[in-house]
Structure 1
Amino acid sequence: MSSKQGSSAGVGSGVDLKDADDVKEYVENLGIEYRFGCYQEKNPKSCHLLGDYWESIKKDFSKAYKTYELNCTDYNFGHSCHKAAGYRWFGKACEQDGDLAFSFFKKGCELDYHSSCLSAGILDTAKPSDKLYHRAEPPNPKRGLEFFRKSCEEGNLAEGCHRYASFFINGMKDVCKKDLEHAFKYSLMACELGSLGGCTNVSIMYK
Protein backbone atom coordinates (compact mmCIF):
# COMPACT_ATOMS: atom_id res chain seq x y z
CA MET A 1 0.00 0.00 0.00
CA SER A 2 1.36 3.42 -0.94
CA SER A 3 1.80 6.21 1.58
CA LYS A 4 -0.98 8.20 -0.14
CA GLN A 5 -3.45 5.32 0.08
CA GLY A 6 -2.62 4.62 3.68
CA SER A 7 -2.53 8.18 5.03
CA SER A 8 -5.04 9.02 7.74
CA ALA A 9 -4.68 12.70 6.84
CA GLY A 10 -6.56 12.33 3.58
CA VAL A 11 -9.62 14.33 2.56
CA GLY A 12 -11.98 13.85 -0.33
CA SER A 13 -11.05 10.86 -2.51
CA GLY A 14 -7.82 9.78 -0.88
CA VAL A 15 -6.13 13.19 -0.89
CA ASP A 16 -2.99 13.29 1.25
CA LEU A 17 -2.75 16.67 2.96
CA LYS A 18 0.98 16.11 3.47
CA ASP A 19 1.56 15.85 -0.26
CA ALA A 20 1.65 19.32 -1.87
CA ASP A 21 1.09 17.97 -5.39
CA ASP A 22 -1.86 15.90 -4.22
CA VAL A 23 -3.47 18.91 -2.53
CA LYS A 24 -2.83 21.16 -5.54
CA GLU A 25 -4.48 18.66 -7.88
CA TYR A 26 -7.45 18.33 -5.54
CA VAL A 27 -7.91 22.10 -5.36
CA GLU A 28 -7.70 22.50 -9.14
CA ASN A 29 -10.26 19.73 -9.59
CA LEU A 30 -12.57 21.52 -7.20
CA GLY A 31 -12.41 24.61 -9.39
CA ILE A 32 -13.20 22.57 -12.49
CA GLU A 33 -16.12 20.91 -10.74
CA TYR A 34 -17.60 24.20 -9.54
CA ARG A 35 -17.14 25.90 -12.93
CA PHE A 36 -18.89 23.02 -14.68
CA GLY A 37 -21.74 23.04 -12.19
CA CYS A 38 -22.17 26.78 -12.50
CA TYR A 39 -21.68 27.49 -16.20
CA GLN A 40 -22.79 24.20 -17.77
CA GLU A 41 -25.41 22.91 -15.35
CA LYS A 42 -26.43 26.43 -14.22
CA ASN A 43 -26.67 25.22 -10.64
CA PRO A 44 -26.91 28.18 -8.21
CA LYS A 45 -25.29 26.24 -5.34
CA SER A 46 -22.32 25.41 -7.57
CA CYS A 47 -22.05 29.06 -8.60
CA HIS A 48 -21.94 30.16 -4.98
CA LEU A 49 -19.29 27.54 -4.22
CA LEU A 50 -17.35 28.83 -7.21
CA GLY A 51 -17.50 32.34 -5.77
CA ASP A 52 -16.24 30.98 -2.45
CA TYR A 53 -13.49 29.14 -4.32
CA TRP A 54 -12.30 32.35 -6.00
CA GLU A 55 -12.54 34.25 -2.73
CA SER A 56 -11.10 31.84 -0.18
CA ILE A 57 -8.76 29.60 -2.14
CA LYS A 58 -7.58 31.61 -5.13
CA LYS A 59 -7.86 35.06 -3.49
CA ASP A 60 -9.15 36.41 -6.80
CA PHE A 61 -11.70 38.84 -5.38
CA SER A 62 -12.66 40.31 -8.75
CA LYS A 63 -13.76 36.91 -10.05
CA ALA A 64 -15.41 36.17 -6.72
CA TYR A 65 -17.50 39.34 -6.89
CA LYS A 66 -18.50 38.75 -10.52
CA THR A 67 -19.56 35.19 -9.68
CA TYR A 68 -21.63 36.24 -6.68
CA GLU A 69 -23.25 39.05 -8.68
CA LEU A 70 -24.10 36.68 -11.56
CA ASN A 71 -25.56 34.15 -9.16
CA CYS A 72 -27.67 36.82 -7.51
CA THR A 73 -29.00 38.57 -10.59
CA ASP A 74 -29.36 35.58 -12.92
CA TYR A 75 -30.07 32.68 -10.55
CA ASN A 76 -31.65 34.44 -7.55
CA PHE A 77 -29.43 32.85 -4.91
CA GLY A 78 -29.87 34.83 -1.70
CA HIS A 79 -26.51 34.07 -0.10
CA SER A 80 -24.73 35.27 -3.24
CA CYS A 81 -26.75 38.50 -3.14
CA HIS A 82 -25.53 39.00 0.42
CA LYS A 83 -21.91 38.44 -0.60
CA ALA A 84 -22.19 40.74 -3.63
CA ALA A 85 -23.71 43.42 -1.37
CA GLY A 86 -20.73 43.29 0.96
CA TYR A 87 -18.30 43.69 -1.93
CA ARG A 88 -20.22 46.69 -3.27
CA TRP A 89 -20.58 48.35 0.13
CA PHE A 90 -16.85 48.29 0.80
CA GLY A 91 -15.73 48.63 -2.82
CA LYS A 92 -13.77 45.40 -2.66
CA ALA A 93 -12.51 44.46 -6.14
CA CYS A 94 -15.30 46.61 -7.61
CA GLU A 95 -16.53 50.19 -7.55
CA GLN A 96 -18.03 51.19 -4.22
CA ASP A 97 -21.78 51.68 -4.60
CA GLY A 98 -23.89 51.90 -1.46
CA ASP A 99 -27.21 52.00 -3.28
CA LEU A 100 -26.39 48.89 -5.30
CA ALA A 101 -25.17 47.21 -2.11
CA PHE A 102 -28.51 47.96 -0.47
CA SER A 103 -30.41 46.59 -3.48
CA PHE A 104 -28.44 43.34 -3.20
CA PHE A 105 -29.17 43.11 0.54
CA LYS A 106 -32.84 43.79 -0.16
CA LYS A 107 -32.98 41.10 -2.82
CA GLY A 108 -31.17 38.66 -0.55
CA CYS A 109 -33.80 39.32 2.10
CA GLU A 110 -36.63 38.84 -0.39
CA LEU A 111 -35.02 35.49 -1.24
CA ASP A 112 -35.15 34.58 2.46
CA TYR A 113 -31.46 34.93 3.24
CA HIS A 114 -32.14 36.51 6.60
CA SER A 115 -28.69 37.94 7.29
CA SER A 116 -29.44 40.21 4.33
CA CYS A 117 -32.64 41.35 6.06
CA LEU A 118 -30.59 42.37 9.08
CA SER A 119 -28.03 44.21 6.95
CA ALA A 120 -30.72 46.00 4.92
CA GLY A 121 -32.42 47.00 8.15
CA ILE A 122 -29.19 48.42 9.57
CA LEU A 123 -28.69 50.53 6.44
CA ASP A 124 -32.30 51.73 6.43
CA THR A 125 -32.12 52.84 10.07
CA ALA A 126 -28.63 54.36 9.95
CA LYS A 127 -27.77 58.02 10.31
CA PRO A 128 -27.05 59.46 6.84
CA SER A 129 -24.60 61.88 8.44
CA ASP A 130 -22.30 58.97 9.32
CA LYS A 131 -19.12 59.34 7.24
CA LEU A 132 -19.21 55.61 6.55
CA TYR A 133 -22.70 55.82 5.06
CA HIS A 134 -22.41 55.47 1.28
CA ARG A 135 -25.99 55.61 -0.04
CA ALA A 136 -27.47 58.42 -2.09
CA GLU A 137 -30.95 57.20 -1.14
CA PRO A 138 -31.82 58.34 2.39
CA PRO A 139 -32.57 55.73 5.06
CA ASN A 140 -36.14 54.54 5.45
CA PRO A 141 -36.59 53.53 9.13
CA LYS A 142 -40.14 52.26 8.63
CA ARG A 143 -38.95 49.85 5.96
CA GLY A 144 -35.89 49.06 8.06
CA LEU A 145 -38.15 48.03 10.93
CA GLU A 146 -39.79 45.47 8.66
CA PHE A 147 -36.40 44.13 7.66
CA PHE A 148 -35.57 43.64 11.35
CA ARG A 149 -38.91 41.94 11.97
CA LYS A 150 -38.34 39.47 9.16
CA SER A 151 -34.78 38.72 10.27
CA CYS A 152 -36.16 38.00 13.73
CA GLU A 153 -39.40 36.15 13.07
CA GLU A 154 -38.28 34.15 10.05
CA GLY A 155 -34.52 33.99 10.52
CA ASN A 156 -34.30 33.74 14.32
CA LEU A 157 -31.46 36.28 14.32
CA ALA A 158 -30.88 37.59 17.82
CA GLU A 159 -29.59 40.97 16.65
CA GLY A 160 -32.63 41.44 14.42
CA CYS A 161 -34.98 40.75 17.32
CA HIS A 162 -33.04 43.13 19.57
CA ARG A 163 -33.04 45.96 17.04
CA TYR A 164 -36.73 45.44 16.27
CA ALA A 165 -37.66 45.49 19.95
CA SER A 166 -35.60 48.62 20.61
CA PHE A 167 -37.81 50.67 18.30
CA PHE A 168 -40.84 50.02 20.50
CA ILE A 169 -39.21 50.98 23.79
CA ASN A 170 -39.46 54.70 23.02
CA GLY A 171 -41.33 54.68 19.70
CA MET A 172 -40.35 56.75 16.67
CA LYS A 173 -42.37 59.39 14.88
CA ASP A 174 -43.90 58.16 11.59
CA VAL A 175 -42.41 54.70 12.21
CA CYS A 176 -43.98 53.06 15.26
CA LYS A 177 -45.64 53.92 18.55
CA LYS A 178 -44.18 53.18 21.96
CA ASP A 179 -45.31 49.68 22.93
CA LEU A 180 -43.53 48.13 25.90
CA GLU A 181 -45.49 44.89 25.67
CA HIS A 182 -44.33 44.45 22.09
CA ALA A 183 -40.81 45.50 23.05
CA PHE A 184 -40.74 42.98 25.88
CA LYS A 185 -41.89 40.13 23.63
CA TYR A 186 -39.14 40.68 21.09
CA SER A 187 -36.49 41.56 23.67
CA LEU A 188 -37.20 38.21 25.32
CA MET A 189 -36.86 36.49 21.96
CA ALA A 190 -33.56 38.30 21.41
CA CYS A 191 -32.33 37.27 24.85
CA GLU A 192 -33.28 33.62 24.33
CA LEU A 193 -31.40 33.69 21.02
CA GLY A 194 -28.27 34.99 22.74
CA SER A 195 -28.45 38.79 22.52
CA LEU A 196 -26.90 40.45 25.57
CA GLY A 197 -28.70 43.70 24.69
CA GLY A 198 -32.00 41.85 24.59
CA CYS A 199 -31.36 40.29 28.00
CA THR A 200 -30.45 43.70 29.41
CA ASN A 201 -33.68 45.25 28.16
CA VAL A 202 -35.73 42.36 29.52
CA SER A 203 -34.06 42.75 32.90
CA ILE A 204 -34.78 46.49 32.97
CA MET A 205 -38.42 45.95 32.01
CA TYR A 206 -38.85 43.29 34.70
CA LYS A 207 -37.58 45.77 37.27
Structure 2
Amino acid sequence: TNRLKAARYYEMGCSGGDATACANLAQMYENKKNADSNDKENALQLYAVACQGGDMLACNNLGWMFANGSGVPKDYYKAMGYYKFSCENGNDMGCYNLGLMSNVNNIYGIDKAQLSQVDLNYLACNAGDMMGCANLGWIYANGDLGAPLNNHYAAKYFQMACDGGILGSCNNLGVLYQKGLGVPQDDQRALDLFSYACDNGFESSCRNYGNFKEHLLRVNPNYGRLFMPYNSYEIP
Protein backbone atom coordinates (compact mmCIF):
# COMPACT_ATOMS: atom_id res chain seq x y z
CA THR A 1 0.00 0.00 0.00
CA ASN A 2 0.98 3.66 -0.29
CA ARG A 3 1.35 3.85 3.49
CA LEU A 4 3.83 0.97 3.53
CA LYS A 5 5.78 2.50 0.64
CA ALA A 6 5.92 5.82 2.45
CA ALA A 7 7.11 4.10 5.63
CA ARG A 8 9.93 2.38 3.73
CA TYR A 9 11.05 5.65 2.16
CA TYR A 10 10.97 7.37 5.55
CA GLU A 11 12.97 4.52 7.08
CA MET A 12 15.59 4.87 4.36
CA GLY A 13 15.74 8.63 4.79
CA CYS A 14 15.91 8.40 8.56
CA SER A 15 18.70 5.81 8.39
CA GLY A 16 20.56 8.23 6.13
CA GLY A 17 20.35 11.04 8.67
CA ASP A 18 17.29 12.91 7.36
CA ALA A 19 15.67 14.35 10.50
CA THR A 20 12.41 15.18 8.71
CA ALA A 21 12.10 11.58 7.52
CA CYS A 22 12.55 10.41 11.12
CA ALA A 23 9.83 12.84 12.24
CA ASN A 24 7.45 11.67 9.50
CA LEU A 25 8.05 8.05 10.42
CA ALA A 26 7.42 8.91 14.08
CA GLN A 27 4.08 10.46 13.12
CA MET A 28 3.12 7.30 11.27
CA TYR A 29 3.78 5.24 14.39
CA GLU A 30 2.05 7.73 16.67
CA ASN A 31 -1.07 8.07 14.50
CA LYS A 32 -1.29 4.41 13.54
CA LYS A 33 -4.78 2.97 13.93
CA ASN A 34 -5.00 1.07 17.22
CA ALA A 35 -1.43 2.09 18.05
CA ASP A 36 -0.05 0.06 20.95
CA SER A 37 2.66 0.83 23.49
CA ASN A 38 5.40 -0.36 21.13
CA ASP A 39 4.18 2.03 18.44
CA LYS A 40 4.18 4.92 20.91
CA GLU A 41 7.67 4.01 22.10
CA ASN A 42 8.91 3.88 18.50
CA ALA A 43 7.35 7.28 17.87
CA LEU A 44 9.01 8.70 20.97
CA GLN A 45 12.45 7.41 19.98
CA LEU A 46 12.11 8.65 16.41
CA TYR A 47 10.95 12.09 17.53
CA ALA A 48 14.00 12.24 19.80
CA VAL A 49 16.31 11.40 16.88
CA ALA A 50 14.57 13.96 14.66
CA CYS A 51 14.73 16.62 17.37
CA GLN A 52 18.46 16.04 17.84
CA GLY A 53 18.78 16.31 14.07
CA GLY A 54 17.24 19.78 14.06
CA ASP A 55 13.56 19.15 13.29
CA MET A 56 11.84 21.60 15.64
CA LEU A 57 8.33 20.25 15.04
CA ALA A 58 9.64 16.89 16.25
CA CYS A 59 10.90 18.61 19.42
CA ASN A 60 7.42 20.06 19.92
CA ASN A 61 5.82 16.66 19.35
CA LEU A 62 8.23 15.07 21.79
CA GLY A 63 7.16 17.68 24.34
CA TRP A 64 3.52 16.82 23.67
CA MET A 65 4.15 13.13 24.35
CA PHE A 66 5.76 13.95 27.70
CA ALA A 67 3.02 16.45 28.57
CA ASN A 68 0.26 13.94 27.83
CA GLY A 69 1.92 10.71 28.94
CA SER A 70 1.76 9.22 25.45
CA GLY A 71 4.14 6.26 25.39
CA VAL A 72 6.02 7.64 28.36
CA PRO A 73 5.16 8.66 31.94
CA LYS A 74 3.92 12.24 32.18
CA ASP A 75 6.72 14.70 32.84
CA TYR A 76 5.67 18.33 32.55
CA TYR A 77 9.18 19.61 33.17
CA LYS A 78 10.65 17.61 30.28
CA ALA A 79 7.70 18.69 28.15
CA MET A 80 8.38 22.32 28.93
CA GLY A 81 12.04 21.87 28.06
CA TYR A 82 11.21 20.48 24.62
CA TYR A 83 8.54 23.13 24.00
CA LYS A 84 10.98 25.84 25.01
CA PHE A 85 13.73 24.48 22.75
CA SER A 86 11.28 24.21 19.86
CA CYS A 87 9.92 27.70 20.44
CA GLU A 88 13.25 29.47 20.72
CA ASN A 89 14.35 27.82 17.49
CA GLY A 90 11.41 29.14 15.50
CA ASN A 91 8.56 26.63 15.84
CA ASP A 92 5.25 28.39 16.50
CA MET A 93 3.57 25.28 17.90
CA GLY A 94 6.31 25.02 20.49
CA CYS A 95 5.63 28.63 21.50
CA TYR A 96 1.88 27.97 21.64
CA ASN A 97 2.28 24.90 23.83
CA LEU A 98 4.78 26.68 26.05
CA GLY A 99 2.18 29.41 26.42
CA LEU A 100 -0.39 26.84 27.52
CA MET A 101 2.00 25.64 30.21
CA SER A 102 2.29 29.22 31.46
CA ASN A 103 -1.49 29.66 31.58
CA VAL A 104 -2.45 31.73 34.62
CA ASN A 105 -4.79 28.95 35.75
CA ASN A 106 -1.80 26.56 35.75
CA ILE A 107 -3.80 23.95 33.84
CA TYR A 108 -0.87 21.54 33.94
CA GLY A 109 -0.42 21.79 37.70
CA ILE A 110 3.25 22.76 37.44
CA ASP A 111 5.07 23.15 40.74
CA LYS A 112 6.86 26.40 40.01
CA ALA A 113 9.03 25.96 43.08
CA GLN A 114 10.91 23.31 41.11
CA LEU A 115 11.69 25.65 38.22
CA SER A 116 14.81 27.71 37.70
CA GLN A 117 14.68 31.49 37.34
CA VAL A 118 15.28 31.03 33.62
CA ASP A 119 12.26 28.74 33.29
CA LEU A 120 10.10 31.01 35.44
CA ASN A 121 10.93 33.95 33.20
CA TYR A 122 10.13 31.86 30.12
CA LEU A 123 6.73 31.11 31.57
CA ALA A 124 6.16 34.74 32.49
CA CYS A 125 7.26 36.01 29.07
CA ASN A 126 5.08 33.53 27.20
CA ALA A 127 2.15 34.49 29.41
CA GLY A 128 2.56 38.11 28.30
CA ASP A 129 4.54 39.47 31.26
CA MET A 130 6.99 41.82 29.57
CA MET A 131 9.27 41.94 32.61
CA GLY A 132 9.77 38.21 32.12
CA CYS A 133 10.89 38.93 28.55
CA ALA A 134 13.15 41.74 29.76
CA ASN A 135 14.69 39.44 32.36
CA LEU A 136 15.35 36.78 29.72
CA GLY A 137 17.10 39.36 27.57
CA TRP A 138 19.30 40.35 30.49
CA ILE A 139 20.03 36.71 31.39
CA TYR A 140 21.13 35.86 27.84
CA ALA A 141 23.06 39.11 27.39
CA ASN A 142 25.09 38.34 30.49
CA GLY A 143 25.21 34.53 30.43
CA ASP A 144 23.69 34.52 33.90
CA LEU A 145 21.74 32.06 36.07
CA GLY A 146 23.10 29.02 34.26
CA ALA A 147 22.01 30.18 30.81
CA PRO A 148 24.67 30.48 28.09
CA LEU A 149 25.68 33.88 26.76
CA ASN A 150 23.57 34.31 23.61
CA ASN A 151 23.22 37.79 22.17
CA HIS A 152 20.80 36.62 19.47
CA TYR A 153 18.33 35.50 22.15
CA ALA A 154 19.09 38.63 24.17
CA ALA A 155 18.11 40.81 21.22
CA LYS A 156 14.97 38.77 20.62
CA TYR A 157 13.70 39.16 24.17
CA PHE A 158 14.80 42.78 24.55
CA GLN A 159 12.82 43.53 21.36
CA MET A 160 9.73 41.79 22.77
CA ALA A 161 10.04 43.68 26.05
CA CYS A 162 10.71 46.99 24.28
CA ASP A 163 7.62 46.48 22.13
CA GLY A 164 5.76 45.79 25.37
CA GLY A 165 6.80 49.11 26.91
CA ILE A 166 9.89 48.20 28.97
CA LEU A 167 12.14 51.20 28.33
CA GLY A 168 15.24 49.60 29.84
CA SER A 169 14.98 46.86 27.23
CA CYS A 170 14.79 49.47 24.46
CA ASN A 171 18.02 50.93 25.83
CA ASN A 172 19.64 47.51 26.08
CA LEU A 173 18.59 46.65 22.55
CA GLY A 174 20.19 49.92 21.47
CA VAL A 175 23.44 48.79 23.08
CA LEU A 176 23.32 45.55 21.09
CA TYR A 177 22.77 47.44 17.83
CA GLN A 178 25.55 49.89 18.69
CA LYS A 179 27.98 47.02 19.28
CA GLY A 180 26.61 44.62 16.65
CA LEU A 181 25.95 41.89 19.22
CA GLY A 182 23.30 39.39 18.14
CA VAL A 183 22.04 41.85 15.52
CA PRO A 184 23.66 43.64 12.56
CA GLN A 185 25.63 46.68 13.73
CA ASP A 186 23.39 49.69 13.06
CA ASP A 187 24.31 53.14 14.38
CA GLN A 188 21.00 54.73 13.37
CA ARG A 189 18.92 51.98 14.94
CA ALA A 190 20.91 52.33 18.15
CA LEU A 191 20.36 56.10 18.18
CA ASP A 192 16.64 55.67 17.52
CA LEU A 193 16.28 53.25 20.43
CA PHE A 194 18.28 55.47 22.79
CA SER A 195 16.22 58.47 21.69
CA TYR A 196 12.90 56.65 22.16
CA ALA A 197 13.77 55.45 25.65
CA CYS A 198 15.16 58.87 26.59
CA ASP A 199 12.09 60.72 25.34
CA ASN A 200 9.95 58.45 27.50
CA GLY A 201 11.94 59.04 30.66
CA PHE A 202 14.75 56.46 30.80
CA GLU A 203 17.71 58.62 31.84
CA SER A 204 20.48 56.14 31.01
CA SER A 205 19.34 56.28 27.40
CA CYS A 206 19.69 60.06 27.37
CA ARG A 207 23.33 59.70 28.35
CA ASN A 208 23.87 56.90 25.83
CA TYR A 209 22.24 58.96 23.09
CA GLY A 210 24.30 62.06 23.85
CA ASN A 211 27.61 60.22 24.14
CA PHE A 212 27.03 58.11 21.05
CA LYS A 213 25.79 61.04 18.93
CA GLU A 214 28.82 63.08 19.94
CA HIS A 215 31.11 60.21 19.03
CA LEU A 216 29.44 59.72 15.63
CA LEU A 217 30.34 63.29 14.72
CA ARG A 218 33.90 62.01 14.36
CA VAL A 219 33.02 59.75 11.44
CA ASN A 220 32.71 60.38 7.73
CA PRO A 221 29.38 61.41 6.13
CA ASN A 222 28.58 57.78 5.36
CA TYR A 223 28.83 56.86 9.02
CA GLY A 224 31.75 54.52 8.49
CA ARG A 225 33.88 52.99 11.20
CA LEU A 226 34.45 55.04 14.32
CA PHE A 227 37.85 56.70 14.59
CA MET A 228 38.37 55.10 17.97
CA PRO A 229 36.66 52.12 19.67
CA TYR A 230 33.87 53.08 21.98
CA ASN A 231 33.15 50.38 24.52
CA SER A 232 31.72 52.27 27.46
CA TYR A 233 28.08 51.40 26.87
CA GLU A 234 26.92 48.80 29.30
CA ILE A 235 23.70 46.91 29.85
CA PRO A 236 22.56 47.96 33.33
User: Normalising to structure 1: TM-score of the pair?
Assistant: 0.52
Q: Does 1:55 align with 2:30?
A: yes
Structure 1 residue identity aligned to 2:9 = E
* 1:124–1:35 CA distance, 2 compared to 1 (3 A): same
Amino acid at match of 2:32: I
What is the deviation of 1:29?
A: 2.3
**SS in structure 1 at match of 2:31:** helix
Corresponding residue of 1:64? 43
Greater shift after overlay, 133-142 or 113-122?
133-142
Correspondence 1:72-91 to 2 at 5 A: 72=51, 74-91=52-69
Per-residue CA deviation, residues 57-111 of structure 1 (Å, 9 max, x unaligned), is: 3622221121112211x21211101111110001111021101100110111122
| Cα deviation, residue 146, structure 1 | 6.2
* Cα pair 1:79 1:108 within 8 Å, conserved: yes
- Measured after TM superposition, the shift of residue 32 of structure 1 is 1.5
What is the rounded CA distance, in whole Å, between the counterparts of 1:53 and 1:32 in structure 2? 11
What is the CA deviation profile of residues 2-55 of structure 1, one whole-angstrom value per residue up to 9, with x for unaligned ones? xxxxxxxxxxxxxxxxxxxxx3xx322222111110122x11211111111111
CA 1:84–1:147: 2 relative to 1, 3 Å: farther
The one of 93, 103, 121 aligned to 1:115: 93
Query: Which of 16, 35, 45 is matched with 2:20 structurally?
Result: 45
Matches within 5 A, 1:12-161: 23=1, 26-40=2-16, 42-57=17-32, 59=35, 60-72=39-51, 74-128=52-106, 130=107, 132-134=108-110, 136-137=114-115, 139-140=120-121, 141-145=123-127
Change (3 A) 1:147 1:69: farther
The CA RMSD over aligned residues, in Å, is 3.0
Identity over aligned pairs, percent: 18
Q: CA deviation at 1:142?
A: 3.1
Whether the aligned pair in 2 keeps the contact of 1:68 and 1:81 (CA below 8 Å) is: yes
Unaligned runs of 5+ in 2: 134-159, 166-236
Is the CA contact (8 Å cut-off) linking 1:89 and 1:134 kept in structure 2?
Answer: no
Q: How many residues align?
A: 124
Q: 1: distance between equivalents of 2:23 and 2:79?
A: 18
TM-score by length of 2: 0.46
Distance in 1 between residues matched to 2:3 and 2:91, nearest whole Å: 28
Q: Check conservation: 2:41, 2:71, Cα contact below 8 A.
A: yes
- What are structure 1's unaligned runs of at least 5 residues? 1-22, 151-163, 172-207
Aligned residue runs from structure 1 range 165-184, under 5 A: none
Q: Distance in 2 between matches of 1:126 and 1:76?
A: 31
Residues of 2 paired with 1:77 and 1:33: CA distance? 18
